[in-house]
Amino acid sequence: MLTETAYAKINLALLAGCLLTGCAHAKAPLTVTSDDQACERLMSVLAANTTYRAEQMAGCDGGVSDEFPGYYVLRVNAYCRDPQGCGSVLLGWYAVEAASGAVHDWDVGEWRIGARIDRNT
């Protein structure tokens, strides 16, 4: 028969185990299978990171990279609010990994994948 002290020790052991191993459920990878999905994922990360407000972003140009298989390389565009037209609506360049949905900065100078920016989303 278990005593009240034994129950307390068991609960403490379970709590310690959860803290040491992490009780949170692991998120399944977010597979990206189209340009539109990659753009949606990218814009949601940028809005969550407060890089840009959601209403600033009009969409993306780009698609699957030939140079970096498994990645979508995309430029994010702003809305053009000038009735005469805009010279540029570029907000930035990014890469989205198709297998996991991971979002990275895009190093335009070196034309390569940069730092991952979606760690908290």
3-class SS letters over the chain: CCCHHHHHHHHHHHHHHHHHHCCCCCCCCCCCCCHHHHHHHHHHHHHHCCCCCHHHEEEEEEEECCCCCCEEEEEEEECCCCCCCCCCCEEEEEEEECCCCCEEEEECCCCEEEEECCCCC
Q: Domains in the chain: how many in total?
A: 1
Least confident piece of the model among 3-17, 47-61, 89-103: 3-17
User: What domain range includes position 97?
Assistant: 35-116
pLDDT value, residue 121: 62
Q: What does the pLDDT average to over 69-86?
A: 93
Residue 107 lies in a domain: yes
Averaged pLDDT of the chain: 82
Residue 21 lies in a domain: no
Q: How confident is the model at residue 20 (pLDDT cuts 50, 70, 90)?
A: very low
Residue 42 lies in a domain: yes
pLDDT value, residue 34: 97
Residue 29 lies in a domain: no
Residue 10 lies in a domain: no
Residue 56 lies in a domain: yes
Q: How confident is the model at residue 71 (pLDDT cuts 50, 70, 90)?
A: very high
Q: For residue 100, what is the domain's CATH number?
A: 3.10.450.170
Residue 111 lies in a domain: yes
At residue 92's C-alpha, the angle toward residues 30 and 121, to 5°, is 30
Sign of CA dihedral 56, 69, 34, 104: negative
Distance (Å, rounded) from C-alpha 41 to C-alpha 23? 26
